[in-house]
Each structure stands twice: as structure tokens, then as C-alpha cells.
Amino acid sequence: KPGRDPRPAFKTATFADGIDDMKQLMPGMQLEGTVTNVAAFGAFVDIGVHQDGLVHVSRLADRFIKDAHEVVKVGDVVKVRVLEVDLKRKRISLSMRKDGGAAAPTERAPRENGNDKGGSGRSAPARPAPQGALGAALMDAFKKR
């Protein structure tokens, strides 16, 4: 049929009314946008203010992702939350996480032995491991110095 387009319906983001400049953006705003570029460090999203915002790879999903391409691709319509607007450098920081974007710092309980430092939990051996004849000769040579 000549009058029918076989392609699927074209989806576009509906930009928020009254927001057409970076100065009108406020942290916490929820907006809809279109992914314009995907890089190793995140995805750039057009939210209708003539400046794309960046969703860092750590803020693309609530779970760990190795590559931004796992979650989004160019042309996807996504919902984002404004985290920060830097008018001087013309940068918009966005998040797609459901928890608000910022990872809450986790409080760790102190260890039983009172040591807050990380590590494998193993202590250093009390005596050196057994060695061959060459190792013993070297040890003797260094002791004589």
C-alpha cells in the first residue's frame, strides 16, 4: 500500500513547559529527555534547554553497570532528575536512579578486634617460610654485613 509507512511510531521526549533555559533548572526537577550520545563515562541527554546534561555511568541505574551501552542507546527517551546546574561552566548533572541519584554513604560497624583498617584479615607469619640452599646462603651473607 503506497500511503502507509511500515516503520514503527516515532517517539519523542515531551519537554517540560516553561523550561527553555539553564537558569530555569533547579536541582530535584524531574524531566524527560532524549539520549544524544553514549560514552564510556555516561550518557548525554537533551532536556530541551539548548545544553545536553550528563548522566554519569554511576547514576544510570540502581545496579552496577560496566558500560553505559548496557542501559541506554542513542535516541532513547528517558526520565532524568536534575542533580546540579553549573551555569558558569554550562554543565548539567543528571541522574536516572530511582533513589535520587546520590549514593548514600554506608556506615560500617567497627570490627570486633577494634581495627578499622581494611585488609584480608590475615596476620603476618611468625617465622619465615622454609627456603632452599640458595635462599639460606643469601640469608647468611646478609647477616654477616
Per the structure, how many domains does the chain have? 1
Query: Domain for residue 79, yes or no?
Result: yes
| pLDDT tens per residue across span 75-114 | 999 999 999 999 999 999 999 998 754 444 444 455 555 5
8 — pLDDT class (breaks 50, 70, 90) = confident
More confident residue, 17 or 109: 17
Query: Domain for residue 70, yes or no?
Result: yes
Give residue 86's pLDDT: 94
Query: Domain for residue 34, yes or no?
Result: yes
Q: Which three-class secondary structure string do you get for the chain?
A: CCCCCCCCCCCCCCCCCCCCCHHHCCCCCEEEEEEEEEECCEEEEECCCCCCEEEEHHHCCCCCCCCHHHCCCCCCEEEEEEEEEECCCCEEEEECCCCCCCCCCCCCCCCCCCCCCCCCCCCCCCCCCCCCHHHHHHHHHHHHC
Query: Domain for residue 134, yes or no?
Result: no
| pLDDT tens per residue across span 37-79 | 999 999 999 999 999 999 999 999 999 999 999 999 999 999 9
Q: What is the pTM of this model?
A: 0.63
Residue 124, pLDDT > 60, answer no
> What CATH number did the domain enclosing 41 receive?
2.40.50.140
